[in-house]
Amino acid sequence: MNKRISAALIINILVVLSTAAITISYYFYSNNPLVETGADSYKFFTTDSNILAGISSLILIPFEIQILRGKREKLPHAAIVFKYISTTSVMLTFFTVIFLLLPQYGAVFLLLGTSFYMHLAGPLAALVTFLFLETDSRIKLWETLLALIPSILYGAVYLTQVVIIGENNGGWSDFYTFNRGGYWYITMAVILVFTYLIAFVTRLIHNKLSEK
């Protein structure tokens, strides 16, 4: 029995079930005043990054089952890269909560109910599986750039809604305060640099623990 793949499979199943259940629950209720319900929940990077992590776990599950059944030897590199991208994204969520949002809103709101999973447990589950369990291949240096894609896409949508359209014209409020003082370009540059730092360090640790 491959204990490493068995552990990864169990965690991935839990991630998929938890993410699906919480996302669906947003259409019925929210026990946190900072969490939007229904389709509005998708405007938060927290929700989007966790869904991305759930999809990456879902993709890996059948391959891990095949390995346990002796029908393949390793996880496909493309699936590991996708897990790497999603792990970087949820860890950006994790660090944003820790360093930016906790000082503003406090732990009571940001770790209450479903937010405990979306802000803390989910990101850490993705990190643990990627770093220590899904170590079948190494991430190439140029692939660190792929980890920036979700942040760039979300940033483009956020800026369009907040800066170009504006809340008064039906756009989003600046709930992440990225445009405080009109300095959205500085905030976005810092986020991209920080995202790349997460991607670089995550790749470094993953590669040290991966098979050659």
pLDDT level of residue 105 (50, 70, 90 thresholds): confident
Compute, in degrees rounded to 10, the torsion defined by CA atoms 195, 35, 18, 111: 70
Do residues 163 and 184 lie in contact, with contact meaning Cβ atoms separated by under 8 Å? Answer: yes
**Whose CA is closest to 78, among 2, 146, 19?**
146
Return all residues near 179 (Cβ < 8 A) that are at least 6 apart. Answer: 159, 162, 163, 187
Rounded-to-integer distance, Cα 107 and Cα 116, Å = 10
As a whole number, mean pLDDT of residues 118-143 equals 95
Cα separation, 138 vs 206, in Å, equals 7
Q: How many domains does the chain have?
A: 1
Q: Compute the distance between CA of residue 86 and CA of residue 31 in angstroms, rounded to an integer.
A: 26
pLDDT greater than 80 at residue 202: yes
Give residue 182's identity as a one-letter amino acid code: G
Residue 158 has pLDDT above 80, yes or no: yes
Percent of the chain whose predicted confidence (pLDDT) is above 90: 71
**Tokens 């986020």 label which residue?**
191
Q: Which residue has the higher pLDDT, 34 or 142?
A: 142
Residue 104, domain extent: 3-209
Quick one: pLDDT band at residue 179, thresholds 50, 70, 90?
Answer: confident
Where is average pLDDT lowest: 83-87, 107-111, 112-116, 207-211? 107-111
| Residue 163 vs residues 26, 157, 181, 208: alpha-carbon distances, Å | 27, 10, 12, 42
pTM for this prediction: 0.92
